[in-house]
Amino acid sequence: MFALGSFLLAGLVCQSLGQYEYEDEYYMPYAPMEGASTPNCAQECECPPSFPTAMYCNERNLKFIPIVPTGIKYLYLQNNFIEEIKAGVFDNVTDLRWLVLDNNNITSEKIQAGTIDKLGSLEKLLFSHNKLTKPPSLLTKSLDELKLVANQLSSFPASTLSGMENLTSLHLSKNKLTTESITGAFKGLKSLVLLDVSENKLKKLPSGVPASLLMLYADNNDIDSIPGGYLTKLPLLQYLRVSHNKLVDSGIPAGVFNVSSLLELDLAFNKLKTIPEINESLEHLYLQANEISKFDLTNICKFSSPVNYSRLRTLRLDGNNVTHRSMPDDTANCLRQASEIIFE
């Protein structure tokens, strides 16, 4: 198959938001040579002859989806003013693989039956920054990436993603999802690696998440506790972000972070009064802007001895009531890899 990479320049916009950089993937328009397009291409769009299965209709002030000719598998419609997906638009391309609709004005009511729900081979559906109140109904089981960031989703029926054994990344941040509205939504997604439910209205971490997850982002919600044993069901999880929530000490059961897979744990901007117990394999612990007033080394260095030490490299404690002087004398031995311990 033709190397997609040369046409799809996945740019990375790095916004510095807190301690890590959010990578906002976007799809750059491919600029073919002047006038070059295959004969059947919609006149508003471009279909490079060297990549005839792609149609680029992005940034064209479109109000409607143009006629999509037979043979197109990659369809780019982002950054337009589309409000509606009319019946029949995809009739000749039911084997569409990628559909990019980011940055339009589409509402759930205006997605007609017989459109997205007819696409049985869809692998990527990028539908961020629209006005959806519920996820589009999908026929495909072959989806590998679904992005519905910054819509107005308040419901997410449990059946939406059923049978999608190849779904690896699911972005649902910046919506209005509640704990109840996502109940059962992630069951059976046995390839899911990334789940982003940040900036919603969750009171709890999502339940029934697949054991395949490496990254779980749930920052900026209303979560006050982490259930005991939650992480033992996620044996591969490396990144857990629960910053900007309402976590309190009583919501952190003993040993809940005692798992050796975790590399990054972000608990910043919560209401914790003590440093939670962690495993020595954790590398980055973010606790800034909590209510910690004691540097309790025992929770970080349970095992400390000349040969046993913490792998912690970053420890942020700024915005708490602790200073360098709060650090016990034996800190250096245990935290010998910590190049960044930040107090203020």
Ligand X SMILES: *[C@@H]1O[C@H](CO)[C@@H](O)[C@H](O)[C@H]1NC(C)=O
Under rule CB under 6 A, residue 88 binds ligand X: yes
Q: How far is the CB of 202 from ligand X (least distance, A)?
A: 27
Segment interacting with ligand X (CB under 6 A) among 179-187, 241-249, 297-305, 333-341: 297-305
Under rule CB under 6 A, residue 228 binds ligand X: no
Residue nearest to ligand X as judged by C-beta position: 142
Under rule CB under 6 A, residue 92 binds ligand X: yes
Q: Is the separation of the CB atoms in 292 and 271 below 8 Å?
A: no
Q: Which is nearer to ligand X, 255 or 319 (CB)?
A: 255
Under rule CB under 6 A, residue 303 binds ligand X: yes
Q: Residue 45: which of 117, 12, 93 has the closest Cα?
A: 93
Under rule CB under 6 A, residue 73 binds ligand X: no
Single residue of 24, 91, 318, 340 touching ligand X by CB under 6 A: 91
- Long-range pairs of 14-19 with CB within 8 A, sequence gap ≥ 24: 18/243, 18/268, 18/286, 19/266, 19/268, 19/284, 19/286, 19/288, 19/314, 19/316
Q: Which is nearer to ligand X, 104 or 178 (CB)?
A: 104
- Long-range pairs of 154-160 with CB within 8 A, sequence gap ≥ 24: 154/178, 154/181, 155/181, 156/181, 156/182, 156/185, 157/185, 158/183, 158/184, 158/185, 158/187, 160/135, 160/185
Single residue of 60, 110, 141, 313 touching ligand X by CB under 6 A: 141
Q: Which is nearer to ligand X, 1 or 307 (CB)?
A: 307
The residues near 281 (Cβ < 8 Å, ≥ 6 apart) are 260, 261, 262, 263, 311
Q: Residue 264: which of 242, 291, 245 has the closest Cα?
A: 242
Segment interacting with ligand X (CB under 6 A) among 53-61, 222-230, 300-308, 330-338: 300-308
Binders of ligand X among residues 159 to 178 (CB under 6 A) are: 165-166
Q: How far is the CB of 301 from ligand X (least distance, A)?
A: 8
Q: Which is nearer to ligand X, 67 or 236 (CB)?
A: 67
